Structure 1
Amino acid sequence: MAIRYPNGKKYVPTTTNSAVKPASISFSNRGKTLEDELNESNEYYNSRGLAVIHKKPVPIQIVNVRYPARSAAVITEAYFKTASTTDYNGVWQGKYVDFEAKETKNKTSFPLQNIHDHQVEHMSQVHEQGGIAFMIIRFSMLDRYFIIPFEQFHEKWTRMLTGGRKSMTLAEIEDMSVEIQPGYHPRLDYLRALPGIVQETTGERIERQES
């Protein structure tokens, strides 16, 4: 079943597109989005009892459905019922995990306009309640992945709100985040970064489980 806009066109999550793909980029993960990679990683974690984390469903109101065949249904008109919060949430070692995942084709910075106010507010509430909130950012042209703890991200968000720059530079992200290298199983082992985030935020030590 496909979810489509009222004009019938398929809904595709937007990404920034301010750079041209270089010929030297690795083709090992060609065609996969960050969402694909995270969904595969989460399936791996769940199958091995390491964590239960899923992508949140998009809250939509279905208006019209077309049936091109008896066994097929296509949603041709639908509306977002409420503003979505973050992309993923779940439980890891008894702790609530909540994060937003974004990718950009920029090679030197990440535009903060890619994040919405209500998403930042949601992560702030999770953080205040003792949950683990963070960002995962993929620089698709560089094939680099970063996990940014909410506290560090919020500093740059506040800087923008008070008249500062409207992006985080790659150098800033390198300094305040944990970079993860893509692998095979799981594709993105982001759980490896969580013990360090918890210890830095609360002082609690958590032994890392092997994937």
Structure 2
Amino acid sequence: MVIRYPNGESYSHDAEKNGKKQTKKKEVSFSKRGMTLEEELNESNAYYLAFNKAVIHKKPTPIQIVKVDYPKRSAAVIKEAYFRQASTTDYNGVYNSFYLDFEAKETKNKESFPLKNFHQHQITHMQECLKQSAICFVILRFSSSNRLFLLEASYLIEYWHKQEENGRKSIPLKNLEKIGYEMYYGLSPRIPYLSVVDQLIAKNN
């Protein structure tokens, strides 16, 4: 199936979801190897919803279907479609009366997180959310080491602007260790990111 952006360019799943490919984890301590970061977050959000902790969902991406084949009467195959608009961030929802909005990305890089994984419209969206006092952040995973970090959007935006002024094109891992919150896998939920959100709430109030 061919999916195109509003400007007519072809959509490449690997380019847009750079680092979100299904990868096998080397650590034997993880019981669910091969899950993508998106799958792990969806599982975590399902847990939070089931136990009335938070209501957080992955945002659907609106698609305009333009070509469909009907090989059988009972079956339809989408051959071509377009994104109606550029996506913003991956997830949003409500937790303890606070609005959360965040993006999730992963990389195979070992020492830094490439800023090319993000897009200008996502940065703009996060800036607008921060103006409305939303709790806005990104969850980053280094797939080679299975290290997880929660980084406040304000830091990402700062790096993004520095990049535009001939700054470096990535966030060094050593810097993430200082300004981000490292998270560790659990069972229920898989990624306990709300425990970090609690720290952000406490810090800002």
Normalised by the length of structure 1, the TM-score is 0.84
Correspondence 1:46-85 to 2 at 5 A = 46-85=49-88
The match for 1:5 is 2
Tell me, in whole angstroms, the C-alpha distance in 2 between the residues paired with 1:69 and 1:83: 33
Deviations 1:11-67 (A, max 9, x none): 5653249xxx89x82253322111100111111111111000000011211112234
Correspondence 1:141 to 2:144? yes
Distance 2:69 2:201 in 1: 48
| 1:121-151 CA distance string (max 9 Å, x none) | 1011101101110000010100111000112
Quote the offset at 1:161 in angstroms: 1.6
Aligned to 2:27: 26
Distance 2:126 2:105 in 1: 14
Uncovered stretches (5+) of structure 2, i.e. residues with no partner = 5-10
2:7 corresponding residue in structure 1: none
**Which residue identity is paired with 2:194?**
L
Kindly tell me: are residues 63 and 134 of structure 1, through their superposed partners in 2, closer, same or farther at Cα, counting changes over 3 Å?
A: same
Give the corresponding residue for 2:187. 184
Cα distance change of structure 1 residues 191 and 70 upon mapping to structure 2, 3 Å threshold:
farther
1:149 partner letter: E
Cα 1:125/1:39, change in 2 over 3 Å: same
Aligned counterpart in structure 2 of residue 127 of structure 1, from 112, 125, 130? 130
Q: Distance in 2 between matches of 1:96 and 1:65?
A: 38
What do the CA deviations read for 1:66-91 (whole angstroms, capped 9, x no partner)? Answer: 34444443321101111100000011
Between the aligned partners of 2:56 and 2:100, the Cα distance in structure 1 is: 8
Percent of residue pairs identical: 47
Contact 1:16 1:106 in 2 (8 A): no
- State the Cα RMSD in Å: 2.4
3-state SS in 2 of match to 1:15: coil
Output the TM-score relative to the length of structure 2: 0.86
Q: Is the partner of 1:119 in helix, strand or coil? A: helix
- Does 2:46 correspond to 1:43? yes
Contiguous gaps of at least 5 residues in structure 1: 205-211
